[in-house]
Structure formats: C-alpha cells, structure tokens
Amino acid sequence: MEPNQNHKINSRSVVQQTMDYITDSIIRKELLPGDQIPTEAQLTEILGVSRNTVREAIKILIYMGVLEIRRPEGTFVCSGFSEPLIDPMLYGIILNQGDSYDDLMDLREMMETGVMRLVIRRASDEDIEKIHPALLHLKEACLTEKPDLEEVFRRDDAFHVAVNELGGNEMVNKISNTVRMLTHAMRYDSVKHMLDSGRAEELYRAHERIYRILKNRDEEDLERKVRSTYFVEGQSLEPEIH
C-alpha cells in the first residue's frame, strides 16, 4: 500500500482515526490477511500524525486481534478470525444493555435459531448424533430425585455448546458463545425456576425437542419451535410442540 497524502487527518481522535484507516484498508482489501502493514514512518507520513499515535493505534489493533507482530519482519494483518475480536463487542453490549431483557431474548432466539438452521443444512446424520450423549447427561441430571441446580445448568450449557459446534462455522460459533455469555443470567434463572417448581423433566424434554428437530431436519416454523423451549419464571413462552 503506497503512501497517499490525501489520507492526512486532523488532530481529533487521532488514535481512533489511525485505527480506522488501517481497518478500512483491510475492509477495502487494500490490505489482505497476512499482508504487512506500512511502517510507522510510512503511516506517520500518510496520515500526518506522530509516531506515538501510530504506535498506540497499532497496539490497540494487536490487542483486538486485527494485527500481529512478527519479529523481526514487522506488523502484519492477522490471517484468521481471532478470539479478541469479540471482546470489544462484548464489553460494548454489556455496558449498553441496561435492563433490556426483551432485547436479549430476541438476540438469543435469533442466534439459536440461526445456529440450528446451519446445523440442519450442513451437519451429517452422524454429526448430529454426537450431541446425543450431552442430551443423555442432561437427562440424568434432571431426572434424579433432587436435581442439583449447578449441575443441571452446566449440562444444559454443555448441550447447547455441542449444538453450536455442529454448525462448522468458527465465527458463528464464537459469536454464539458470546451471546451465551450475555444471556447467562437469564438462562440460569430459567433453569432455577424450572427446578424450584418441580419441572425438571419438562426442562429436559425441551432439550429433547431440540435434538429431534435437528435429527429430523425440521425447519418448518423453526422460530416458534425454538421459542417453545424457553421458560420464563417456569412458564414456556409458547405452547409445547411435539
């Protein structure tokens, strides 16, 4: 990428604007994964900013997983999706979500429905069978005489993680796991309500329905079927679907 004097920027938020210049170059495919970015001296000349500004912008982009340092060659665009890319998005959502319970429910439903569509369309029958042990582990925890909340929740979560992994899309899987982090409290409360009200078997049956939807590759009215597996204070959001 050749220096271009037209890219010079003003003093407002110079670090952010330097970051934007680099990321925009990646989006426009002027810089590709694995490419070396311009040197500090070149970026200083291109953008009309100080070397300290360039160093700070690069440091942040390295933390975010956009860039990586390869000594002694220089700084390069990362070649693949990186976990830290999720962090700024996660922190931003946490700080701005407030009490938006309904928004989180919408996000959860959208993500889980999307993952299930991906599994239905891409996973083999043998792959789908791989989640059956996780379902049986959840059944075992739910159908004991006195279900343990922490154990049931852990196995509930493990079942959904197993479903996520069947989609075969690393980026979708990581974003889905982020959504699971954001909805942790509401999911935990839901499990607690079900156990406290003596409905542990119903909780298990909801997960069994998910397994059968995937096994039968049943996409019809999928959003409603997924919603039927959610419980708020012990009540299903939709009538049970067999």
Query: What pLDDT is stored for residue 5 in this prediction?
Result: 46
Alpha-carbon distance of 37 to 1, in angstroms, equals 8
Three-state secondary-structure class, residue 47: helix
Query: What pLDDT is stored for residue 239 in this prediction?
Result: 43
Query: What pLDDT is stored for residue 11 in this prediction?
Result: 46
Query: What pLDDT is stored for residue 179 in this prediction?
Result: 84
Query: What pLDDT is stored for residue 3 in this prediction?
Result: 43
Sorted by sequence, the CB contacts under 8 Å of residue 136 that are 6+ apart come out as none
Query: What pLDDT is stored for residue 23 in this prediction?
Result: 87
Alpha-carbon distance of 220 to 226, in angstroms, equals 11
Q: How many CB atoms lie within 10 A of CB 76?
A: 16
> Which stretches of the chain drop beneath a pLDDT of 50?
2-6, 11-12, 234-235, 237-242
Please say whether the beta carbons of 222 and 117 come within 8 A: yes
Q: How many CB atoms lie within 10 A of CB 25?
A: 18
Query: What pLDDT is stored for residue 218 in this prediction?
Result: 94
Task: Give how far Cα 54 sits from Cα of 20, 45, 77, Å.
Answer: 12, 11, 15
Please report the domains of the chain, with CATH numbers, ordered by start residue.
5-80 (1.10.10.10), 85-236 (1.20.120.530)
Query: What pLDDT is stored for residue 92 in this prediction?
Result: 55
